[in-house]
Copies of this chain bind each other. A is one copy, B any other.
Amino acid sequence: MKYVYSFKEGNKEMKNLLGGKGANLAEMTHLNLPVPEGFIITTEACHNYYENEGKIKKEIVSEILDHIKQLEIETGKTFGSGSRPLLISVRSGAPFSMPGMMDTILNLGMNDDVAESLIRQTNNPRFVYDSYRRFIMMYADVVKGYERNVFESRLEEYKKAKNVTKDIELDANDLKQLTMDYLKIYETLNHNPFPADPIRQILEAVTAVFRSWNNDRAIYYRKINHIPDNLGTAVNIQTMVYGNIGNSSGTGVAFTRNPSTGEKKLYGEFLMNAQGEDVVAGIRTPEPIENLQVVNPTIYNQFLSYATILENHYRDMQDMEFTIEEGKLYMLQTRNGKRTPTASLKIAVDMVHEGLITKKDALLRIEPQDLQNVLHSRFKAHKETSVAKGLAASPGAAVGQIYFHAKDVIEAKKQHKDAILVRNETSPEDIEGMHHAKGILTIRGGMTSHAAVVARGMGVCCISGCESLKIDEVKKELYLPNHTILKEGDILSLDGTNGLVYTTALSMEENFENPNLLEFLSWTDEIESIQVKANADTKEDAIVAKKLGAQGIGLCRTEHMFFSPNRIFAFRKMILANSLQERVSYLNELLPIQREDFYQLFKTTAPNSVVIRYLDPPLHEFLPKEELEKQRLAASLNITMEDLQNRINNLKEINPMMGHRGCRLAITYKEIAIMQTKAIIEACILLLQENIQIIPEIMIPLTTDQKEFAYVKKIVDDTATKIMQEHQVTISYHVGTMIEVPRACALADQIASSAEFFSFGTNDLTQLTYGFSRDDSNKFLPEYLNKKIMLQDPFKSLDQEGVGSLMKVAVSLAKNIRPNISLGICGEHAGDPKSIKFCQEIGLDYVSCSPYRIPVAKLAAAQSALK
Chain A residues in contact with chain B, CB under 8 A? 653-660, 662, 664, 667-668, 702, 704-705, 707-708, 711, 740-743, 746-747, 764, 767-773, 775-777, 779-780, 783-784, 787-790, 799, 801-803, 805-806
Contacts and interface: CB of A to CB of B under 8 A. Distances in A.
A708 B654 contact: no
Nearest to A804: B746
Nearest to A651: B779
Contact of A773 (B658, B777, B789): B658
Contacts of A790: 707-708
A776 B656 contact: yes
A667 B743 contact: no
B806 A771 contact: no
Given A656-B654, A707-B790, A743-B770, A667 B784 contact: yes
Nearest to A660: B779
List 9 A-B pairs, minimum CB-CB distance, nearest first. Answer: A655-B773, A658-B773, A654-B775, A743-B802, A659-B776, A742-B742, A741-B771, A660-B779, A653-B776
A659 B768 contact: no
Nearest to A803: B743
Interface-central residue, A704, A743, A779, by most chain B CB under 10 Å: A743
A683 B479 CA distance: 64
Interface-central residue, A704, A764, A801, by most chain B CB under 10 Å: A704
A48 to B, nearest CB: 29
Contacts of A746: 769, 801-802, 805-806
Given A667-B789, A742-B768, 19 more contacts: A654-B775, A654-B776, A656-B773, A657-B771, A658-B770, A658-B773, A659-B776, A660-B779, A667-B780, A704-B771, A711-B789, A741-B769, A741-B770, A742-B771, A743-B799, A743-B803, A746-B805, A746-B806, A747-B805
Contacts of A653: 773, 775-776, 779
Interface-central residue, A662, A773, A784, by most chain B CB under 10 Å: A773
Contacts of A775: 653-655
Given A654-B775, A655-B658, A704-B771, A783 B667 contact: yes
Given A746-B802, A747-B801, A776 B705 contact: no
A708 B799 CA distance: 15
A429 B304 CA distance: 99
A743 B803 CA distance: 7
B711 A787 contact: yes
Contacts of A658: 655, 657-658, 767-768, 770-773, 776
A848 to B, nearest CB: 21
Contacts of A772: 658, 704
13 contacts: A655-B656, A657-B771, A658-B658, A658-B776, A659-B776, A664-B779, A664-B780, A667-B789, A708-B790, A742-B806, A743-B802, A747-B801, A768-B769
Nearest to A711: B789
A767 B655 CA distance: 11
A531 B764 CA distance: 37
B667 A776 contact: no
A783 B660 CA distance: 12
Contacts of A776: 653-656, 658-660
B705 A802 contact: yes
A551 to B, nearest CB: 30
Given A654-B776, A775-B655, A667 B787 contact: yes
Interface-central residue, A655, A704, A711, by most chain B CB under 10 Å: A655
Contact of A659 (B740, B773, B805): B773
Contacts of A660: 776, 779-780
B768 A802 contact: no
A783 to B, nearest CB: 5
A126 B708 CA distance: 60
A777 B658 CA distance: 8
Nearest to A784: B667
Nearest to A808: B746
A554 to B, nearest CB: 21
Contacts of A771: 657-658, 662, 702, 704, 740-743, 764, 768
A336 to B, nearest CB: 35
Nearest to A665: B780
